[in-house]
Amino acid sequence: MLTDTEITQIVREEKTTTWQLTTQSANKIYSKNMILALGHLPSDKYLELKNETPTFYESPWKDLSSIQSDSSVAILGSGLTAIDTAKLLAAQHHVGKLFFISPSAQLPRIKGPATTSTYSFQYLTPSNLTTNLLTYDHVMQLFADEMSRATGTSLSVDDLLKIVKSGEGKDAHTLLSEEVKLVDSGQVRQWQVALSATFYNVLPILTQQLGEEDQKKFRSIFFPLYLKWIAGMTLGNAKEIVSMMDSGQLTVLSGPKCILADEKGGIYHLTTHDDQTLSVSTIINATGTGHSIHQNALLSQMEKDGYLSAHPLGGIAIASDSLVISPSHGEQTHCWALGPTTFGSNPLVYATETSAMDAAKIAAHVLKDLTHVESNTPVLTK
Ligand SMILES: Cc1cc2nc3c(=O)[nH]c(=O)nc-3n(C[C@H](O)[C@H](O)[C@H](O)COP(=O)(O)OP(=O)(O)OC[C@H]3O[C@@H](n4cnc5c(N)ncnc54)[C@H](O)[C@@H]3O)c2cc1C
């Protein structure tokens, strides 16, 4: 295993049908088979602020230690990445004010207690989902009907979207404080059991059945909100976040409507959706994973050289059954991809379990080649 090694270029030697990988220190690695498991693509939001000043962090996965502990920090986003960012700052004893700023001003829900409860679908059933005429509107109606059944409350599609968007009309602090008490008491929530069951039972069918335009609509309107409800935070994290909010250190705001950098530098002025203005010395983009392969230099190079292409819904295009890149060339490319960079083909790739299943599929293909052990062995040369 080569750690601290970044691959900066990948080319294919057509004569030997071997992949040649170049590391940042110009070492070469040769391998017949290659699997791209490059993880999350960088956020494609707030690119205009990139390189603006040294106090704008395009991602929280940088060294944050130079942020002054008493400075005010705007954290763009209010999802799991924003929560991790607040925890990172707390771990380095940050005492200054923190602001989560996102359009919804909502935090993810809290993961419920482990339960043996199961849920049988009445509306989101395979037979209802495999109709040839499946549309975004039809799917949303099935979700609304199923959630009405699970919660015992009659919900229209608008009601459902309103709830997932606005967190039942309560502000983030109130909702999270109430939810911590509920989850701490061990209460199992039926909406959570039902929604969790949709992840592996419903999403794979939708990915197959919805046409491209309806799929785009589903992924851009409902899916990000759905993820906030289904991919919840842990109770431990929720308690930490509530205590930061109780002390007044952390506030969740809706926005930003606009961000202006002070000409003298070092200060940003942000306007929220309800026209509050806020001055902070640091901004961290914590909006999570992006979808454009053009934000990744290696994937951009591979696309330019014709080894792979972008999926219209984001990430790398792969064959959904074999997971090979550049599906038009088939398996002879000997290159597969899995994990978050394959989001376009499969929205389930954000869960590590999906990567495990996809890795097993790829391993089966690679094993077919094991008779050529010699040519399969990766070689490292200077
Ligand atoms: C805030 C957050 C919370 C999450 N919570 C959960 C959860 O609760 N449960 C769950 O199942 N999933 C969760 N996920 C998703 C989960 O983290 C990912 O699905 C998982 O990490 C993907 O694993 P991976 O190995 O494909 O990618 P990663 O773990 O991202 O690993 C990719 C690796 O590739 C390396 N790399 C990238 N480019 C190059 C290059 N050019 N050369 C060499 N190396 C390179 C990176 O340095 C990294 O080591 C969460 C994700 C986030 C962001």
**Tokens of residue 345, six digits:** 């083909």
| pLDDT 10s digits, 230-255 | 999 999 999 999 999 999 999 999 99
378 pLDDT band, cuts 50/70/90, is: low
Q: How far is it, in rounded angstroms, from Cα 256 to Cα 275?
A: 9
C-alpha 79 to ligand 1 mean position (Å):
16
Residue with tokens 């590590």: 352
C-alpha 340 to ligand 1 mean position (Å):
7
Least confident of 82-86, 179-183, 345-349: 345-349
C-alpha 321 to ligand 1 mean position (Å):
22
Is-same-fold flag (7-41+291-381; 47-108+235-285)? yes
Residue with tokens 């809290």: 110
Give the number of the atom of ligand 1 that is nearest the alpha carbon of residue 288: 53
169 pLDDT band, cuts 50/70/90, is: confident
C-alpha 40 to ligand 1 mean position (Å):
6
| pLDDT of 52 over the 70 cut | no
365 pLDDT band, cuts 50/70/90, is: confident
Give the number of the atom of ligand 1 that is nearest the alpha carbon of residue 352: 11
CATH domain 47-108+235-285 topology: FAD/NAD(P)-binding domain (3.50.50)
Give the number of the atom of ligand 1 that is nearest the alpha carbon of residue 37: 26
Q: Which residues face 325 on adjacent strands? A: 318
Mean pLDDT on 143-168: 90
The CA-atom distances, in angstroms, between 22 and each of 40, 304, 311 are: 21, 16, 25
Q: How far is it, in rounded angstroms, from Cα 159 to Cα 165?
A: 10
Residue nearest to atom 43 of ligand 1 (CA): 6
Q: How far is it, in rounded angstroms, from Cα 232 to Cα 224?
A: 12
C-alpha 43 to ligand 1 mean position (Å):
13
| pLDDT of 269 over the 90 cut | yes
Residue nearest to atom 37 of ligand 1 (CA): 38
C-alpha 341 to ligand 1 mean position (Å):
10
Q: How far is it, in rounded angstroms, from Cα 381 to Cα 184?
A: 55
| pLDDT of 370 over the 80 cut | no
CATH number of 7-41+291-381: 3.50.50.60
Q: What pLDDT is attached to residue 318?
A: 93
| pLDDT 10s digits, 10-21 | 999 988 889 999
- Comparing 350 with 53, the larger pLDDT belongs to 350
**Ligand 1 mutation target, pool 80, 88, 308, most atoms within 8 A of CB:** 80
C-alpha 55 to ligand 1 mean position (Å):
25
Q: What pLDDT is attached to residue 328?
A: 62
| pLDDT of 215 over the 90 cut | yes
205 pLDDT band, cuts 50/70/90, is: very high
| pLDDT 10s digits, 60-106 | 999 999 999 999 999 999 999 999 999 999 999 999 999 999 998 99
Ligand 1 is surrounded, with C-beta below 6 A, by 6-7, 37-40, 80-81, 84, 288, 298, 339-340, 350-352, 355
C-alpha 4 to ligand 1 mean position (Å):
16
C-alpha 311 to ligand 1 mean position (Å):
19
Q: What pLDDT is attached to residue 89?
A: 98
| Domain layout of the chain by residue ranges | 7-41+291-381, 47-108+235-285, 126-230
Q: Give the chain's radius of gyration (CA, Å).
A: 23
**Ligand 1 mutation target, pool 3, 8, 34, 40, most atoms within 8 A of CB:** 40
Residue nearest to atom 29 of ligand 1 (CA): 39
Nearest to 234 by CA among 184, 185, 199: 184
Least confident of 88-102, 126-140, 327-341: 327-341
Q: pLDDT over 70 for what percent of the chain?
A: 95
- The distance from CA 38 to its chain's CA centroid, rounded to whole angstroms, is 13
Mean pLDDT of the chain: 91
302 pLDDT band, cuts 50/70/90, is: very high
C-alpha 38 to ligand 1 mean position (Å):
7
CB atoms within 10 A of CB 176: 24
DSSP-assigned letters across all residues of 311-350: -TTSSB-B-TTT-BBSGGGGGGG-EEE-SGGGTTT-GGGG
User: Which amino acid would we find at residue 94?
Assistant: H
Q: How far is it, in rounded angstroms, from Cα 131 to Cα 158?
A: 23
- The distance from CA 204 to its chain's CA centroid, rounded to whole angstroms, is 17
163 pLDDT band, cuts 50/70/90, is: confident
Q: How far is it, in rounded angstroms, from Cα 281 to Cα 287?
A: 19
Kindly give, in sequence order, each residue whose CB lies less than 8 Å from that of residue 53, ignoring residues fewer than 6 positions away: 261, 265, 266
**Ligand 1 mutation target, pool 38, 228, 235, most atoms within 8 A of CB:** 38
**Residue 345 · residue 318 · CB < 8 Å:** yes
| pLDDT of 377 over the 90 cut | no
**Residue 265 · residue 283 · CB < 8 Å:** no
C-alpha 349 to ligand 1 mean position (Å):
10
Q: What pLDDT is attached to residue 331?
A: 57
Residue nearest to atom 36 of ligand 1 (CA): 38
Q: What pLDDT is attached to residue 30?
A: 95
Mean pLDDT on 16-27: 95
350 pLDDT band, cuts 50/70/90, is: confident
Residue nearest to atom 20 of ligand 1 (CA): 352
| pLDDT of 275 over the 60 cut | yes
Q: Please provide residue 182's backbone torsions phi and psi, each rounded to the nearest 5 degrees.
A: -65, -50
| pLDDT of 131 over the 90 cut | no
